[in-house]
A and B are shown apart, each in its own frame.
Chain A
Amino acid sequence: MDARSSSSIQPIIEAKHLRKSFGSFTAVDDISFTVPPGECFGILGPNGAGKTTAIRMLYGFSPMTGGTLRIFGLDVPKDIRSIKARIGVCQQENNLDPDLTVFQNMEIFAGYFNLPRMLSRERAESLLSFIALSNRRNDKVIELSGGMMRRLVLARALINSPDLLILDEPTTGLDPQSRHQVWQRLEELKKSGLTILLTTHYMDEASWLCDRLIIMDHGRILVEGPPAKLIRTHVGHDVIEVAEPAPALLDFVAGMNLEYENLGHRLIIYGNNRDVLYHEISAHCSHEGCILRMATLEDVFLKLTGRELRE
């Protein structure tokens, strides 16, 4: 161990004041975060929040406009080639090679990392069995289902035994079964100590996988923390939802000094230990229109980023 790593653990990613502009448009506006080894770190945000732009800078795909970025203690963009040799990336679009078979996809990709042929084949074999696609090894990629392709993208990203796995919306567009298949693999990778950085639109995915996350909007970080803590801090434990709230109820709630959102056809009340309040309110309105549930990350997300549609 050298002097530096004995005093504090070297972070895998260290981003400081990262900025990216396209002309006059600022896609990433001064974000800073640190990811220690073994952590699964999430970047959440609505469409156009700057998630993909941010991680594209991490793997050297887009040059940074400003700020500093160190990965494995190495400098981006100066040492980008050595950094990329130790990163696995699942990009958002499916970019498997349709001209090649499943096995060739793994083998040829290993070549881009200059892996020796024998080692490439060994790893390709074991990764294909890890994602349960060994029996499809000679099929063309186009013959695979969406879920299989996604698993293959994941396996391909692992061919260089990366120290950091970057996933840009790993399960977008998959059916629930396929999503769970991918999650299961990611859980296993997490347990093995791999550092993972992922972006997602799915709050359940983020709650399930991420140790810590940031929510971004308009290129900036709104909040940062472990999912459970974010929920506790920003919305509390419980949520009461009332459909078609009566004016009397709205007056009642407004007079109670509660944290709530009035969406017109729906009233949402946040907080802790809302059982008593729930019983009180459900007496005011019909039972079907009133529910008490646990607060989720989605509540935090919508509360912070608003409910208007993003294109």
Chain B
Amino acid sequence: MKPFTTEVITSRLWKVWYRNLVVYRQNWKVNFIPPLLEPLFYLLAFGIGLSSLVGSISYGNQQITYVQFIAPALLAINIMNNAFFENTYSSYVRMYYQKTFDAMMATPLTLEEIITGEIFWGATRSVMATAIMLFVVSFFGVLHYPHALLIIPLGFLGGIAFGSLGMLFTSKVKNIDLFNIPIFLIITPMYLFSGTFFPLENLPLWARYLAQTLPLTHLVNLVRSLGLGHYDASLLWGLLYLIIFCLILFPVSVVSMHKRLIK
């Protein structure tokens, strides 16, 4: 069987996805709390506490408040974090400690379906968290509807991107503590330098170019324009970037997982 054919990855992958959904539903109250409270904390601390120092920010050809500026960024960060953490720590626990993948591999499921199901599940967590957060952020009156609703499907694409990235690390790390390395070297810098809490224009030129290579920069751009109802051609490049990122990282993570588990 050749990898990435319809023979190897069938709709059975949703059985893996469904297993995770069943577990998630058991703790749904706990799982709902972070996306519900996180934006509240951030918008209160940064939006209200910091905005008087920042004043207004120019975005496109308009002036927006600091709350308007960071609210979409929080949504984008949330998309990244949900999928990335699901497909690192949680997938690793299922793979290494719980031997869940081993048990699945003794059934007609293929490893490719298992990993795809896991990544789709990570993306689903991003979507669910996005929907909840969108609801909370709406109370601050900064989002333009109905366009802002497109952030929800965008959450799935972003989830696949960051979930695949997470899965790649899951296939490589020797133990669970080593996830600190990609978090410190990749996730935290992206969190700070992707046009999230300040405009990229404030950075020196080289740093601005560097920021353009980060997937979160493009996700933040997309979420911000959908949320604030401001569009230009650079968005298509951003979308294209994310799609290409997925098309590379997803198969690479599956192949790398194959190398780790099939001996």
Contacts and interface: CB of A to CB of B under 8 A. Distances in A.
Do A and B associate with each other? Answer: yes
Interface of A: 22, 59-63, 77-78, 80-82, 84-85, 87, 89, 91, 93-100, 104, 108-109, 111-114, 157, 160
Nearest to B114: A112
B119 to A, nearest CB: 18
A98 B103 CA distance: 12
Contacts of B26: 99
Main secondary structure of the interface of A (DSSP, over half): loop
Given A84-B106, A112-B104, A112-B108, A95 B22 contact: no
Contacts of B106: 59, 61, 84, 87, 89, 91, 157
A100 B98 contact: no
A97 B107 contact: no
Nearest to A87: B106
Interface in B233-263: 262-263
Nearest to A157: B106
Given A97-B19, A99-B98, A114-B12, A91 B103 contact: yes
Given A104-B22, A111-B15, A111-B19, A84 B108 contact: yes
B105 interface: yes
Given A61-B106, A95-B99, A114-B108, A100 B22 contact: yes
A258 B106 CA distance: 49
B109 interface: yes
Contacts of B1: 77-78, 80
B107 A95 contact: no
Given A87-B106, A93-B102, A114-B108, 7 more contacts: A80-B1, A91-B99, A93-B99, A97-B19, A99-B23, A99-B98, A111-B18
Contacts of A109: 103, 107
B110 interface: yes
B102 A95 contact: yes
Nearest to A61: B105
Contacts of B58: none
B100 interface: yes
A60 to B, nearest CB: 8
A63 B262 contact: yes
Interface string B18-36: 1100110010000000000
A62 B263 contact: yes
Contacts, number: 71
A157 B19 CA distance: 17
A59 B99 CA distance: 16
Contacts of A113: 107-108
A77 B2 CA distance: 12
Contacts of B102: 61, 91, 93, 95
Interface of B: 1, 12, 15-16, 18-19, 22-23, 26, 98-100, 102-110, 262-263
A24 B16 CA distance: 36
A165 B65 CA distance: 66
Nearest to B7: A81
A63 B102 CA distance: 15
Nearest to B23: A99
A22 B106 CA distance: 21
A34 to B, nearest CB: 22
A97 B103 contact: yes
Contacts of A63: 262
Contact of A95 (B18, B98, B110): B98
A81 B108 contact: yes
A22 B15 CA distance: 32
Contacts of B22: 100, 104, 108
Contacts of B107: 84-85, 109, 112-113, 160
A5 to B, nearest CB: 24
A62 B100 contact: no
B99 to A, nearest CB: 4
A186 B15 CA distance: 29
Contacts of A78: 1
Nearest to B105: A61
Contacts of A82: 108
Contacts of A60: 105
8 contacts: A63-B262, A78-B1, A80-B1, A82-B108, A97-B98, A100-B23, A111-B18, A113-B108
A96 B100 CA distance: 7
Contacts of B15: 108, 111-112, 114
Contacts of A112: 12, 15-16, 104, 107-109
Contacts of B104: 112
A296 B123 CA distance: 58
B19 A98 contact: no
